[in-house]
Amino acid sequence: MTTTTTVKKLTLEEYLVYDDGTDTKYELVDGELVEMPPETGRNNLISLYLLSEFLKFISIQLIRHKDTELVVMGNLTRVRLPDLMILTQELLATLGGKRATIAPDMPSPIMVVEVVSPGKVNQDRDYRYKRSEYAARGIPEYWIVDADQTKVTLLTLVDGLYEEAIFQETDLITSATFPGLNLTAVQVLTAGQV
């Protein structure tokens, strides 16, 4: 005889008040908690390097680094925790001093960066699922930084769908959000390496 157990699906409201007494970070995917494993040192250095480069163009108040949730829609509600986000002034004002969660009724960030963690599951999440979720959320620019595949994929929202540009080696990354950015793919992908 086979026994099955059913996991209770969380609503967005239940997720927003969920506390298991640990420092574990979770994303909400179709009502289920998905534990976010600790990042690799390389991925942390890449995201910090990009943060430092973006600070040359915008105020620190408009940058979020692994600390702000973004509610997107999938089959059910999903909550993502991007590596980097660039906010608009309007979104910053809307967030105010409340929980660092960008709800569906709030404006979207203008840019999201995901640094791909090793493994097929992480690649699928960043390249497939988040791509459609962020497009549906209306995020104008989405970067996928993949050190394992040695490329930076920059997705620009055009008529509701992302158009893709891939940068490798000494390709100069061209960003609509940061037109004055003077970075090559290799500079981003090797950030912090000695």
Q: In this structure, is residue 26 part of a structural domain? A: no
pLDDT of 179 over the 80 cut: yes
pLDDT of 6 over the 60 cut: no
pLDDT score at 24: 84
pLDDT of 5 over the 70 cut: no
Higher pLDDT, 193 or 166: 166
pLDDT score at 35: 85
Three-state helix/strand/coil letters over the chain: CCCCCCCCCCCHHHHHCCCCCCCCCEEEECCEEEECCCCCHHHHHHHHHHHHHHCCCCCHHHEEECCCEEEEECCCEEEECCCEEECCHHHHHHHCCCCCEECCCCCCCCEEEEECCCCHHHHHHHHHHHHHHHHHCCCCEEEEEECCCCEEEEEEEECCEEEEEEECCCCECCCCCCCCCCCEHHHHHCCCCC
pLDDT score at 166: 98
Q: In this structure, is residue 90 part of a structural domain? A: yes
Q: In this structure, is residue 104 part of a structural domain? A: yes
Q: In this structure, is residue 106 part of a structural domain? A: yes
Share of the chain above pLDDT 90, in %: 63
150: left (phi over 0), alpha (psi -120 to 50) or beta: left
pLDDT score at 74: 61
pLDDT score at 96: 84
Q: In this structure, is residue 17 part of a structural domain? A: no
pLDDT score at 98: 77
Q: In this structure, is residue 118 part of a structural domain? A: yes
pLDDT of 7 over the 80 cut: no
Q: In this structure, is residue 180 part of a structural domain? A: yes
For the chain, what is the mean pLDDT? 89
Q: How many domains does the chain have?
A: 1
pLDDT, one tens digit per residue, over 117-159 is 876 556 777 888 899 999 999 999 999 999 999 999 999 999 9
Q: In this structure, is residue 4 part of a structural domain? A: no
pLDDT, one tens digit per residue, over 41-92 is 889 999 999 999 999 999 999 999 999 999 997 667 889 999 999 999 999 9
Specify the CATH number for the domain of residue 118.
3.90.1570.10
Per the structure, the complete domain to which residue 127 belongs is given by 39-68+79-189
Higher pLDDT, 108 or 8: 108
